[in-house]
């Protein structure tokens, strides 16, 4: 059973990755790091670098890194979880206003509600 993490190269993404690494190690499971970015975008801040991933994941953890071009982040994560028979999905969760949720939707909410396995939603630590 695989641990899936939705990764974006930002502080929240790194926190989600840290938790996913810990869960994969605890479970003795492989880790699948999924980076979803907009199709056709030449420059997208959400696109991860494979070299950065290699630096962030300890050698003791078996992982697979996949970049997916998809407009619907939730759909990409849910499809990857189903294909891998995931035992856990790890996602970063950020605060959004009610209006922001209405206008933009919530990928995290959709993943939480539609996933066929447990979902661990993590947030950035509070600034000190």
| DSSP string for 22-53 | HHHHHHT--EEEEEEE-TT-SS-TT---HHHH
The residues that bridge with 63 in the sheet, in sequence order, are: 31
* Per-residue model confidence (pLDDT) at position 127: 65
Mean pLDDT for the chain? 88
- Tokens for 18, please give them: 């840290």
Q: How many CB atoms lie within 10 A of CB 95?
A: 7
* Per-residue model confidence (pLDDT) at position 109: 87
Q: Where does 3-71+85-122 sit in CATH, by number?
A: 3.40.50.620
Banded model confidence at residue 27, pLDDT cuts 50, 70, 90: very high
Q: Is the dihedral of CA 123, 8, 88, 94 positive or negative?
A: positive
Ranges of each domain in the chain: 3-71+85-122
Q: What is the pLDDT of residues 50-62, one digit of tens each?
A: 899 999 999 999 9
* Predicted model pTM: 0.87
* Per-residue model confidence (pLDDT) at position 117: 97
The residues that bridge with 90 in the sheet, in sequence order, are: 5, 120
């Amino acid at each position: 059973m695989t641990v899936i993490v939705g990764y974006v190269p930002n502080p929240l993404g790194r926190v989600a990755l840290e938790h996913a690494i810990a869960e994969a190690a605890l479970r003795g499971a492989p880790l699948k790091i999924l980076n979803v970015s907009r199709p056709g975008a030449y420059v997208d801040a959400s696109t991860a670098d494979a070299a950065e991933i290699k630096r962030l994941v300890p050698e003791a953890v078996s992982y697979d890194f996949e970049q997916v071009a998809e407009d619907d982040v939730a759909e990409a994560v849910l499809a990857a979880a189903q294909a891998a028979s995931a035992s856990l999905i790890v996602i970063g969760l950020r605060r959004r206003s009610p209006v922001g949720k209405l206008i933009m939707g919530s990928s995290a909410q959709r993943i939480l509600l539609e996933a066929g396995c447990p979902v661990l939603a993590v947030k950035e630590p509070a600034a000190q």
